[in-house]
Amino acid sequence: GALVYQYPRRTICKSGTSMRMECQAVGFQATSVAWYRQSPQKTFELIALSTVNSAIKYEQNFTQEKFPISHPNLSFSSMTVLNAYLEDRGLYLCGAREGRNERLFFGHGTKLSVL
Partner 1 sequence: QQKVQQSPESLIVPEGGMASLNCTSSDRNVDYFWWYRQHSGKSPKMLMSIFSNGEKEEGRFTVHLNKASLHTSLHIRDSQPSDSALYLCAAAPSGGNYKPTFGKGTSLVVHP
Other beta carbons within 10 angstroms of residue 95's beta carbon come to: 19
Nearer to partner 1, 11 or 82 (CB): 11
Nearer to partner 1, 103 or 113 (CB): 103
Q: How far is the CB of 6 from partner 1 (least distance, A)?
A: 8
Nearer to partner 1, 46 or 74 (CB): 46
| Residue pair 74/98 in contact by the 8 Å Cβ criterion | no
Q: How far is the CB of 83 from partner 1 (least distance, A)?
A: 25
Q: How far is the CB of 16 from partner 1 (least distance, A)?
A: 27
Query: Rounded CA gap, 55 and 14, in Å?
Result: 31
Nearer to partner 1, 67 or 105 (CB): 105
> Which residues contact partner 1 by CB under 8 A?
6, 32, 34, 36, 42-44, 46, 49, 51, 57, 91, 93, 95, 97, 102-109
Per DSSP, the residues of 66-96 read TS-EEEEETTEEEEEE-S--GGG-EEEEEEE
Query: Rounded CA gap, 111 and 76, in Å?
Result: 19
Query: Rounded CA gap, 69 and 21, in Å?
Result: 10
Q: How far is the CB of 60 from partner 1 (least distance, A)?
A: 11
